[in-house]
Amino acid sequence: MGTWYMPQALNHRTARRSVEDVGRHSLSAWNYSQIVTTNSNQEVIDQMKPTVGAISFSGAVNTDLKYMWSWHNQDHSYIDLSNNSWNNFGQEYINPGVHVFMNNDNNNNNYEDQIRIYYDNGDAIEINDEIDFTFNGRTLNIPKKIFTIENNQSLALEGALSHGTISVPANTPTEIYSQIEGPTRDYGTWSIKIEEDGRWVETYTWEDQNNQSNWLSAYVDSTIAEWEVDGDTLFVTYHFDDVWFQGNEFFGAAHGTWYYQIAYIYQKNEDELTLTNEWNVCENKPYCLNGREHEFGIDSGSLEEVKYVWTLEFSKTPPTRSKEFRRPFRAVIGKFPPYGLMK
């Protein structure tokens, strides 16, 4: 019972989120790891590791595409490229942003090769034209191709780019991807209050810095759930009221409650509490494992398991604040009596 504090720094995916955004998926919303198990030694594509090489843009736009996502089997390849990272929030955004999609599935007209260029001022360039390339599941090669765009400008595309990989030993669960980010910035804190009557209160405190005054605005939000224990498993159940419509008829509107439950294996040691939740993505679904093998670039039939793991660590000791809060808290938490503003 009592209040437990999460000392881990919140990652950028939880920063500035409201209770409706974060609470809908509980404390574990975006801090997770992806674990795979194979039946033989494999070199698995590591989406978090920097790629080797670059696909270069030159002419109307000069930039390098160093971020790649791919899906590949013996018949088809689907590839996304960008000059901005979709995994690492800490990197500076490059303007204009460039996104390239290409594939060699000539039988599917819904997947045409496409180049999109986005500028901060809202301008955009879109090119729909076939892009020649070779791809073996790890390395992409694009021979030089020149596109003509508006105002007689040209855009050249060429280069080679390879995925980074991670070694996965046979029959050994191995982390290949994680959204748990380092302490490059303190976004805020979580706490939970576990009450004897089955009430579970999650409180989320975050901050936003004003660059001009260097003051910090600190906010508090909260969501409430119910808890119960069965053996070493803690069940937390969330209730969300919702309204939906049937077709375009207003009188078809209905009101109901959605239930969302998370099962945590818990371990308690003195004033430390660890909650662990696992989700087996492809449980009893061989076709799911086969599709993931194409995404990971590994041998067919070698993937035994893919799961997401959330590990949440709590302490009875409140974390030390690294910054001074100078502005008043938002009164959102006041809608959950008897809980008031935190100071």
* CA-CA-CA-CA torsion sign (312, 315, 320, 323): positive
Taken in order 318, 323, 324, 326, the sign of the CA dihedral is: negative
Domain boundaries, the chain: 2-39+170-335, 50-163
CA 205/CA 191 separation, integer angstroms: 9
The CA angle 145-149-150, to the nearest 5 degrees, is: 170
Residue 102 pLDDT exceeds 80: yes
Per-residue confidence at 105, pLDDT binned at 50, 70, 90? confident
Contact 308, 279 (CB under 8 A): yes
More confident: 25 or 68: 68
Contact 9, 312 (CB under 8 A): no
Query: How does residue 99 score in pLDDT terms, banded at 50, 70 and 90?
Result: very high
- Closest C-alpha to 226, from 196, 265, 205: 196
d(CA 107, CA 105): 5
Alpha carbon separation from 220 to 39, 203, 205, 328, 337 (Å, rounded): 47, 7, 5, 10, 14
Write down the residue that tokens 């090769």 correspond to.
Answer: 113
Q: Is the pLDDT of residue 291 over 80?
A: yes
* Residue 303 near residue 287, CB atoms below 8 Å: no
pTM: 0.65
pLDDT mean across residues, the chain: 77
Residue of 54, 252, 261, 9 whose CA lies nearest to 158: 54
Across-strand partners of 199? 226
First to last CA, the chain: 22
CB 244 within 8 A of CB 214: no
Asked if residue 68 lies in contact with residue 140, where contact means CB atoms within 8 angstroms, the answer is yes
DSSP string, 298-320: --TT-EEEEEEEEEEEEESSPPP
Q: Which amino acid is at 46?
A: D
Neighbours of 288 (CB within 10 A): 15
Instruction: Give the residue with greater pLDDT, 149 vs 288.
Output: 288
Would you state the pLDDT for residue 324? Answer: 40
Average pLDDT over residues 116-121: 90
**Secondary structure (3-state) at 275:** strand
Chain segment 54-92, per-residue pLDDT in tens: 999 999 899 999 999 888 888 889 999 999 887 555 567
Residue 343 binned pLDDT confidence (cut-offs 50, 70, 90): very low
pLDDT above 50 for 25: no
Cα–Cα distance, 258 to 100 (Å, whole number):
38
Handedness of CA 57, 62, 63, 64 (dihedral sign): positive
- The pLDDT of 137-166, averaged and rounded, is 91
Cβ-based burial of 309 (10 A; exposed 0-12, middle 13-18, buried ≥19): middle
Residues 6+ apart with CB under 8 A from 121: none
Phi-psi region of 247 (alpha: psi -120 to 50; beta: other; left: phi over 0): left
Residue 45 pairs in a beta bridge with 165
More confident residue, 55 or 284: 55
